[in-house]
Structure 1
């Protein structure tokens, strides 16, 4: 649980249950999850945020968990290099929290994808500062919402993730697309020694059409660099992209 909360900023109770307690019988899963998380809270390693997912009647599954300062310090004993910038939990605004939970949902879904397939595994997932990339010799820092590396026995796909919740204006979206395209055109390798492709998830088909329209007005490389899908489709789209490469002839 602590390592998962270091990977992502927050987890809802239901996300934690899916991620960490999937091998427990469904009838006992929620009870065991409450017990384990209760102990971590009592030890001062995990904190619950003030807001819930689904309102006041959502029960403990709607609680939102974050790593406490004590949890960070404990993990630092194993690897201080992984120490994140934020040292204690706090309750962010509703828009930021919804965005953070959407990123966590991608992580949980990709872990579940790996469990269900012998051909796919999540090799790396990072958010915030751990996902940022500064090209050598450049003063431009790429700040994706997440970095995901999916691997098969023979192929590894590196993706930058942009979780668009419909709050950014089209000019800001266009500027973000141009930054990624400029980097891809530079020929400079990115994380893993490759130029990651960029998956942009949206919350509606209308927003998807708007983003695809921006991409169509860019140079041809953009159509290869960017993939647009709705949030519930992210794991399936990344899996399909990976498996298409696996099936390609040598």
Structure 2
């Protein structure tokens, strides 16, 4: 996309249009309902009016291939337009790439149901943070999605390892800042797999890299669908002597907002034992 084409296109897009495209670039996938929560939360007489407005805007962007809908709806046909999942269209991808000076083309294809569900779950956590900010419960200072929230480090045997959180965030309440890494768990992985990832967090913590830059190590929070899954992960963590439980928190999605609003997270220290 040439600079002149980009300039011409930008002249026909509103700030909200650009914000929607930026959100799709960041989160990769969003449902109509999530886009409404992010960009149409105010200025409408009712939820129905907001839903009508978001579909009108998305329809216009879709007509110019700036956004594209997936073939499968979340929640099936009964979910209506709120269950449509969107990603950047070819023109939207080129525009975002040009605006950010990126040369590598990101290919957008129909993702698997598992990838879609997990990606939308991660987006829902971030949207929850922004909604808490709108309620003046916290201030959102940082939200980093994949892969910008990933960290590489030299492991214990001299090899390069990657820590791949689903989401990194910094929130503030009063004089306190809270640093978080979130894992959106949909109960699709066996608990031992989750324990192995927890140990990657511990190995990264032992490098001291994050603490040297930020003065602390973030709370690592697994957000799970229900109390049954929470109990299963808690048992798996407790059953492995190598796990230092003070570093991790396991909460349900229903408990997420209360944890963030309460804040003042004080993760435990990670020993070198």
What's the TM-score, normalizing by structure 2?
0.79
Question: In the alignment, which residue of structure 2 is the partner of 1:124?
Answer: 142
Q: Residue 196 and residue 218 in structure 1: after superposition, are their counterparts in 2 closer, same or farther (change >3 A)?
A: farther
Please tell me whether the aligned partners of residues 13 and 61 of structure 1 are also in contact (alpha carbons under 8 angstroms). Answer: yes
Question: In the alignment, which residue of structure 2 is the partner of 1:25?
Answer: 45
Please tell me whether the aligned partners of residues 162 and 199 of structure 1 are also in contact (alpha carbons under 8 angstroms). Answer: yes
Corresponding residue SS for 1:232 = helix
Structure 1 CA distance for aligned equivalents of residues 241 and 171 of structure 2: 27
Give the deviation of 1:244 after TM superposition: 8.9
Unaligned runs of 5+ in 1: 246-250
Please tell me whether the aligned partners of residues 65 and 91 of structure 2 are also in contact (alpha carbons under 8 angstroms). Answer: yes
Equivalence map 1:101-180=2 (5 Å): 101-117=120-136, 120-135=138-153, 139-180=160-201
Please tell me whether the aligned partners of residues 31 and 83 of structure 2 are also in contact (alpha carbons under 8 angstroms). Answer: yes
Corresponding residue SS for 1:130 = coil
Corresponding residue SS for 2:110 = coil
Corresponding residue SS for 1:59 = helix
Q: Residue 86 and residue 48 in structure 1: after superposition, are their counterparts in 2 closer, same or farther (change >3 A)?
A: farther
**Are 2:98 and 1:71 equivalent residues in the alignment?**
no
Question: In the alignment, which residue of structure 2 is the partner of 1:50?
Answer: 71
Which of structures 1 and 2 has the bigger CA Rg?
2
Corresponding residue SS for 1:51 = coil
Deviates more, 1:92-101 or 1:206-215: 206-215
Give the deviation of 1:85 after TM superposition: 6.7
Please tell me whether the aligned partners of residues 133 and 190 of structure 1 are also in contact (alpha carbons under 8 angstroms). Answer: no
C-alpha distance after superposition, 1:100-121 (max 9, x if no partner) = 111111111111110001x512
Match of 1:195 among 190, 212, 217: 217
Give the deviation of 1:214 after TM superposition: 2.9
What's the TM-score, normalizing by structure 1?
0.86
